[in-house]
Structure 1
Amino acid sequence: MPRMPSAERRRQLTEAAIRVMARDGVAATTTRSVCAEAGVSLSVFHYCFDSKQALLESVITAITEHSVTLVREALQPKATLQETVRAGFQAYWDHVAAHPGEHLLTYELTQYALRHPGFAHLARRQYALYSDTYTELIEQLGARMGFVLRVPVPVLARYLAAMTDGLTLQHLVLRDDAAATAVLDAVAAHVAALAGEETAPARSGPVSSGPAGW
């Protein structure tokens, strides 16, 4: 087996764990099944992770980063803040449409953490990560576009985290692309209005690939 840096090996095992958990569920996932998926020995796993908690935290962070990386790339300033925010939402939602099992896993991770003694801090960490990510994106976009919000950044960050979290779960249940798109259009307009920008009317009708997130 070729040697690789420990950080890269951790990423390899984390991505393998995401695939196994999305397929088999969190409770049924074992270190052996993750190692089999990654093609490594148990000794390699235990060298990288000292507990299941450490693995789950790495999984939560990696799943969040998967979609956030796409959003960062999509958040290029456009003619209006509303258009810019909407593009970020679309990048997120394209990831939801392409990887529904991965997003479904995030809710299972929350439930697992809350139901198992000693793991609840992972659920808190998960939702703090969502808010922190939105805070970072809002501040970066504000610096680039020069807008001033009418609400504190942490409040908007929690609002957007709650919106995308709830809308994603609703979509996984209902699979209604048009309804989700309408909500995301409305939220993009709301964010722009909170920055004092006059907003365009929400679009109507279906969108090609399904909803969006920022």
Structure 2
Amino acid sequence: MARMPSAERRRQLTEAAIRAMTRDGVARTTTRSIAAEAGVSLSVFHYCFASKQALLESVIEAITAHYVTVVRQALRPRATVRETVRAGFGAYWDHVRERPGEHMLTYELTQYALRQPGFEHLARRQYELYCETFGELLSQLAREMDLELRVPVPVLARYLAAMTDGLTLNVLVLGDARGTAGLLDMVTEHVAALMEPAAADRRPLNSDPLPATPW
């Protein structure tokens, strides 16, 4: 077996774990089956991950990174805030359609962590990561388009995390793609309305600067 840097080996095993858990479920996936999926020995697995908690945290972070990369690329500034926000939601939803099993796995990971003694912190970390991710994306968008948010970033980030979480589960269950498009349009309008040009950009075009105060 060719030697590989430990960070790269961890990524390989994490992706193998995602495939195995998506196929077999979290509870039925073993360290042996993950090692087999990755094509490495069991000793290599234990060298890279000291515990199952460490593996699951790596899985949660990797799944989140999968769709964040896609959304971040789609969030490049467009003609309007609405078009930009809608492109971000559209990219996320394309990812859900392309990898439904991976998104189903995120809910299974949450339930597994909440029910398994000693793993509860993983569920909290999972949702904290969602909020942190949305906060980073919102801050990036505000910087690039010179926007001000009408609510604090942490509040809007948590709202978006809760909204997309519920909507994703709803559609994974009901499978209503056309209805989802309408919901995304509605959420886009709401989110775009909470963003406005920075203060300097809101001055009317025909307004003159205040005259200098005579001294």
Q: Same fold (TM over 0.5)?
A: yes
- The alignment-based identity, stated in percent, is 74
Q: Distance in 2 between matches of 1:176 and 1:135?
A: 28
How much is the aligned-residue C-alpha RMSD, in angstroms?
A: 0.8
Name the counterpart of 2:131. 131
Name the counterpart of 2:169. 169
Q: Distance in 2 between matches of 1:153 and 1:179?
A: 28
Name the counterpart of 1:108. 108
Partner-residue secondary structure (3-state), 2:43 = helix
- What is the deviation of 1:121? 0.2
Greater C-alpha Rg: 2
AA partner of residue 177 (structure 2): D
Q: Distance in 2 between matches of 1:13 and 1:196?
A: 44
Please list every run of 5 or more consecutive structure 2 residues that lacks an aligned counterpart in the other structure: 198-215
AA partner of residue 154 (structure 1): P
AA partner of residue 34 (structure 1): I
The 5 A counterparts of 1:131-210 are 131-196=131-196
AA partner of residue 67 (structure 2): S
- What is the deviation of 1:170? 0.4
| CA deviation profile, 1:37-60 (whole Å, cap 9, x unmatched) | 000001100110000000000000
Q: Distance in 1 between matches of 2:193 and 2:88?
A: 17
AA partner of residue 13 (structure 2): L
The 5 A counterparts of 1:1-214 are 1-196=1-196
Q: Distance in 2 between matches of 1:121 and 1:157?
A: 20
| CA deviation profile, 1:86-127 (whole Å, cap 9, x unmatched) | 101111110100000000000000000000000000000000
AA partner of residue 195 (structure 2): A
Q: Distance in 1 between matches of 2:85 and 2:196?
A: 14
- What is the deviation of 1:14? 0.2
Q: Distance in 2 between matches of 1:18 and 1:149?
A: 36
AA partner of residue 115 (structure 1): R
- The total of aligned residue pairs comes to 197
Please list every run of 5 or more consecutive structure 1 residues that lacks an aligned counterpart in the other structure: 198-214
- What is the deviation of 1:196? 3.6
Name the counterpart of 2:206. none
Relative to the length of structure 1, the TM-score reads 0.91
